Amino acid sequence: MPQDPILSAAQREKHPGLPLYSLHLDLIRGLAAFLVFVGHLRLIVTGHTGNVTNGETPGLLTHPVHATGFGHTAVVVFFVLSGYLVGGTVVRDLARGSFSWVKYAFRRLSRLWTVLIPTLMIGFFIDAISTHCFATTRVVSQGLFTEGFHTPGIGIFLQYISFLQSIARLNIITYGTNVALWSLSNEFWYYLLFPMLAVALFGKRTGWLARVALLLVAGFLLWFVGTRISGYFLLWLCGVLAYIVPAKIPTRFQSAATIVLALQFIVVLVSMRFIPTEGFTTDALISFSFTLMLYAILHQVGPASASLYSRFAHFISFPSYSLYATHVPVCILFAAGCEAFFPSLFRHAGLATAAVGASVLVYSGIFYLIFERNTDRIRRFAEAHLLRQPATPHPS
């Protein structure tokens, strides 16, 4: 199956020949980040009890974001997409005999750190402003994400940039209010585990001693990260499966198959809201259902044309990582400021949500332009200086 060249945002803006399915994946990725953002925004503005400051419980008409609640589901979708995009490049490079651990590490770490490090540093000061200047507001004093707040020190900072925060056995406290960063830890360990297993099992030029060593290290890491991260690795691998399975849907049935499999994914999402199941079982069903839809989407290999849809898909997708990583502390700051300075506005949950949400989206867009959009440039600079060789453009 032809695969999407995994390009940085700056490259994708100038890339005219992307297949149509690439736009669909952009849209899904952007919508997933937006759903996580909206879910946290709802909790911050209205409080996790669902009550606003005037004691009313907002309904769907007064507070539309109560119709959403798919933030965790969106993270599961992120995992599957990551398996397809990142795991797919590993499979592709191994098949070509061009996989390089060093270049792979530069690509993955530059992608993660270019957003994560400034997120942690700026988030420290944002949390300080919120907890010191707006401590008496309900957003801060009674907020779900400010409860038991700890000012992070250098040790917590180093643990987060080492992606240790989701490892249960280490019991690392949350970095300030930014609860969304847990999934980056999962992603990092999947980025490390999958190529170890893939090289050990399928590397054409890998000796048997290296294979055994890689399998032993991978086994140790699966134990070290714990059952939760290891369990969700299986969901991440669903994306790799979508990459590997050949495109077998006949051309005349592809549109119908895409519609049917998209509908089944929606049915599964809605059903999981009403059918009581254990958390991981629900996530596994959702990931499998989404993988089926992804498989159908990947058949749309025709070239994407410039259109309103393509512009919107790019617009919502490019800053999705920045929005995901930065939104919680900024939401709290803007919501607390809104409550303190505009109490009459804050008593109307819908208006307050819209005002705070718009402000956070502007902030994340600016953050993207300053940091995330320059990921590829930062990686090339690091490769040129640390590898002491000219850096060639490569997907981030």
* pLDDT of amino acid 12: 53
Query: How many domains is the chain built from?
Result: 1
User: Which two tokens mark 315?
Assistant: 């617009």
With a cut of 70, list the residues of the chain below it in pLDDT: 1-17, 48-69, 276-277, 389-396
Residue 169 lies in a domain: yes
Q: Which of 283, 372, 280 is nearest to 325 (CA)?
A: 372
* Phi, then psi, of 19 in degrees rounded to 5: -70, 160
Q: Which of 174, 158, 176 is nearest to 329 (CA)?
A: 176
* pLDDT of amino acid 389: 60
User: Residue 184: CB partners within 8 Å, gap ≥ 6?
Assistant: 112, 116, 163, 165, 325
SS3 19: strand
Give the other-Cβ count within 10 Å of 154's Cβ: 7
Give the other-Cβ count within 10 Å of 90's Cβ: 20
* pLDDT of amino acid 302: 86
* pLDDT of amino acid 174: 94
The boundaries of the domain holding residue 56 are: 9-386
pTM: 0.89
Residue 22 lies in a domain: yes
Q: What is the dihedral of CA 223, 225, 227, 232, to 10 degrees?
A: -120
What are 201-230's pLDDT values in tens digits? 998 888 999 999 999 999 999 999 999 999
* pLDDT of amino acid 53: 38
* pLDDT of amino acid 147: 86
Residue 3 lies in a domain: no
Cβ contact 183:81 at 8 Å? no
Cβ contact 387:98 at 8 Å? no
Residue 1 lies in a domain: no
Dihedral sign from CA coordinates of 82, 85, 90, 91: positive
* pLDDT of amino acid 50: 41
Residue 395 lies in a domain: no
User: Which two tokens mark 136?
Assistant: 């008496």
* pLDDT of amino acid 305: 81
* pLDDT of amino acid 16: 55
* pLDDT of amino acid 69: 62
The string over 293-312, giving b where at least 16 C-beta atoms fall within 10 Å of a residue's C-beta and e elsewhere, is bbbbbbbbeeebeeeeebee
Residue 2 lies in a domain: no
* pLDDT of amino acid 390: 56
Residue 35 lies in a domain: yes
Cβ contact 224:233 at 8 Å? no
* pLDDT of amino acid 396: 44
Residue 252 lies in a domain: yes
- What is d(CA 104, CA 124) in angstroms, rounded to the nearest whole number? 30
